[in-house]
Amino acid sequence: METTSATAATKNTRSTAAATASRTTRSRRSTEKTTAKTTDKSAAATTAANATTTAAKATSRRTAAKSARSTTRSAAKSTARTATKAAAKTALSPIPGLVGEAPAPTIPVTEPGQFGRVNILDITPNEERGIYPARVELGETFEVTAQVFIEGRTKVGATAVVRTPRGKETARRAMTCVNPGLDRWTVELACGERSDAKPWDADFAAVKRQLGLWTVTVEGWEDTYRSWLHDAEIKVKTGDDVENALDSGAELLARWAVTKDARLNAAERNLLKEAAAKVADRALSPTDRLAAATTDEIRALHETNPLRDGLSESAPQRFKVERPKSSFAAWYQFFPRSEGAYVDPATHKIVQGTLKTAVSGLERAKAEGFDIVYLPPIFPIGTTNRKGKDNALVAGPDDPGSPFGIGSALGGHDTVDPLLGTMDDFKAFTARAHELGLEIALDFALQCSPDHPWVKEHPNWFRTKPDGTIAFAENPPKKYQDIYPIDFNADMPGIEKEVERIMNLWIEAGVTIFRVDNPHTKPVRFWQDVIAAVTRRHPEVLFLAEAFTRPGMMRALSYVGFTQSHCYFPWRNTKEELSEYLLETNGEDGYYQHNTFWPTTPDILTAYIRDNGIAGHAVRAVLAAMGSPSWGIYNGYELIENQQRPGFEEQRDNEKYEVKVRDWRRADKYGIAELLTSLNRIRREHADLFSYHNLTLLPTHDENIIAFARHTPAELTANGKADTLIVVVNLDGHNAHQDEVHLELTDFGIDPDKGAHLRDELTGREFDWHWDNFVSLAPWADVAHVLTVVR
């Protein structure tokens, strides 16, 4: 697989380089059509004749390939000579009586590694080995940086160009030099526009056509206008060689007006021509002549439609653009068997819920604003070594067992547990979810109970101990006596084929996402093969990795197709830990590993959640919803279920081993459900802000106050207005804290003379902020501010 991918990448690189040279040649020929027409025809005829002769004499593919490369080099040399002659001719100024200077030419790049007239290096993000492109969601904002420079003290500019998988240009944005000493330029971009279309919607077909490998090309160019202006202002002020300086400016403006690359309209061309005439008019004073070239209109034109000499392109950088919900998602988890469960008054035993009663969970998720419902395994549960309450080794007669002990005589991974219903019931469940606008994510735990059909049908899929027994799962000192792990060494292709069959079956039943249990304990190549096969047939399907492991493994899983992953957010609780983790999640790693922030799961209940009560639940919800584009809630959070099992960081009376009967009427008493609903509303209303690449920490002093901001410029929002979100959180669930938050106004496009008028999206209160701003947060009132800039 890797060899094939590398070969394809090499071919794409060569193809792209040729396309780049072709576009450059076409652009120059268009600009110089009158001067170079005869020469171009001659060169083209000569090249065609040479190519025909070579092809006729070719005796093998190798000879033909060598000839083609030779022809390309000859054509490139011919083109370069033509460009040089054309540049010399266009050096003649459009203004009578003036002789213009030869502008920097565009030097053709005919093979990888060659530099153009302007140098471009170290573009980020970059593909590892040219194989694994950065991943972004359709419409998600992201940052591209590069080193762009030229020799001497000549000024340069840089532009980033975004193109679809079909090569259509969709955006062209000026880059900003943020570190002149290091020649570092940066720009914020987006591939396409955000969409909330679901895979079953009619308009998803239009979204689907936009997915795939987009490219970003960095263009470097000599900034002739800025270089001239720098020197001309000094010369006019000191009276040094003034006429030559102003004549050069007049010629430059006149040439700018007729340059097609500048993409000027008639009014803009006339503006430049008129300015050129004034600058060349020796009847005016030098100061007035210079002023004609430096009006606000011309400076603005320089920002939007500059004269770009010596235009040089980088190799296109690829970005894998994925569908909506690949990055920006809100998950809600519940166990169907607990939804609608009740205690039978006659027997005093719990009657579990079904897929039909579980519709109540869908409706609750919808009401709270979530868009993905995640279900634990819904397959038959084994009886051998079935676990009892709180992971007890011996199950009682009424214990339902863990849904992760998959498989019984009733079926395996391709069967609905009869206690939950039938496959038709599941299809009706997913259909109702789709009516509510909810996607269904199904847990896929690749493990078996001793009763799973695979144990008899494929005994070689399991590891056998020397005594002939199958080894159950363990992670010493932990043991999972009700689970047999899969052994991939004997028949990985056979296991792959079966997993692909099963996943396709659930996809046909309405599943659009798989949450994969412990993928890091299986071969990475296994997932690479399976995900490639499944998404080739169903490109809309997403994968969430429930993996807590080393960075290298996490990166590899993201490379092979896991669009999101669980992470260490639950254990990052201090200001220092959170500051580091927010930047890690929303930084360079965010181009590959999309961390989904879950405050709790059936397996995780931290001491912070245990010890900080309602305020602690509110704090962690705000941090999760605002700190990552993707977040999730395990149901029961609304009811403050925070009792730990003694000696473990997980819930007591764990739902993994029993059916929960909940009184959802109590949720109003705590206010957490209302908070979750508000957080999801804020996220929807400011969707353009939720990227893995636009979070900034804001300085504070108190160790219990953390503040951060998200910002998206006007050019990248749906309504054309800049959007800024400021989050301030008191991490102490018991005490009030006051602090000062510093906001670097200009970094967020805020006029320092006016300051920022903010609205707290949680309370509706409004504030006026400037550089340094007092905040006071108390756990019995407001644990956090979620502020948007109103004006």
Token digits for 580?
């580091």
Distances (CA, A) of 147 to 317, 344, 770: 14, 70, 34
> Coil, strand, or helix at residue 241?
coil
Q: How far apart are the first and last CA of the chain?
A: 53
Q: How far is CA 600 from CA 166, 592, 604, 624, in A?
A: 43, 24, 5, 10
Catalytic site residue 546? yes
Q: Judging by beta carbons within 10 Å of its beta carbon (0-12, 13-18, 19+), is residue 366 exposed, middle or buried?
A: middle
Cβ neighbours for 430, distance < 8 A, ≥ 6 positions apart: 440, 509, 510, 511
**Which residue(s) pair with 185 in the sheet?**
146, 177
- The answer on whether 481 is annotated among ligand-binding residues is no
CA distance 491 to 489: 6
Say whether 517 is catalytic. Answer: yes
654 is in an annotated binding site: no
Could you give the CA distance from residue 566 to residue 554 in angstroms, rounded to a whole number? Answer: 10
Neighbours of 489 (CB within 10 A): 9
Give 508's contacts (C-beta < 8 A, 6+ positions apart). Answer: none
Q: Report pLDDT for 13.
A: 38
The SS3 call for residue 653 is coil
User: What is the three-class DSSP state of 35?
Assistant: helix
Which of 511, 554, 507, 509 is closest to 533 using CA atoms? 507
- E-assigned strand segments in 527-639: 542-546, 564-565, 596-597, 630-634
Residue 370, both tokens: 């979530």
Residue 260 labelled as part of a binding site: no
Contact between 777 and 730 under an 8 Å Cβ cutoff? The reply is: yes
List of residues 6+ apart from 583 with CB closer than 8 A: 695, 697
| Distance of alpha carbon 27 from alpha carbon 24, whole angstroms | 5
| Closest listed residue to residue 502, CA positions, set 541, 473, 474, 471 | 541
Strands (E), 84-235: 119-124, 134-137, 141-149, 156-163, 169-174, 176-179, 184-190, 212-222
Alpha helices in 368-437 (DSSP H): 423-435
C-alpha 417/C-alpha 515 separation (Å) is 18
**So what's the pLDDT on residue 520?**
96
Domains of the chain and any CATH numbers = 1-94 (no CATH), 689-789 (2.60.40.1180)
**Cis? peptide before 108, omega within 30° of 0:** no
Confidence (pTM): 0.85
Q: Which of 546, 723, 739, 782 is catalytic?
A: 546
pLDDT value at position 18?
A: 39
Specify the pairing of strand 596-597 against strand 630-634. Answer: parallel
- Over its C-alpha atoms, the chain yields an Rg (Å, rounded) of 32
656 known member of a binding site = yes
196 is in an annotated binding site: no
Check the CA dihedral 186-192-193-194 and report its sign: negative
156 contacts 221 by C-beta, under 8 angstroms? yes
Distance of CA 689 to the CA centre of its chain: 12
32, 183, 268, 517: which one is catalytic? 517
Give the pLDDT means over successive 10-residue stretches in the chain (791 positions).
36 39 39 37 38 38 40 42 42 59 86 91 88 95 97 95 97 96 96 95 94 96 96 95 94 95 97 96 96 96 96 95 97 98 96 98 98 98 94 93 96 98 98 98 96 96 86 76 90 98 98 97 97 96 96 95 97 98 95 96 97 97 98 98 94 96 96 98 96 97 98 92 96 97 94 95 96 96 96 80
| 374 assigned to a ligand binding site | no
Q: How many CB atoms lie within 10 A of CB 651?
A: 25
Alpha-carbon dihedral of residues 473, 475, 478, 482, nearest 10 degrees? -10
Q: What is the pLDDT of residue 130?
A: 81
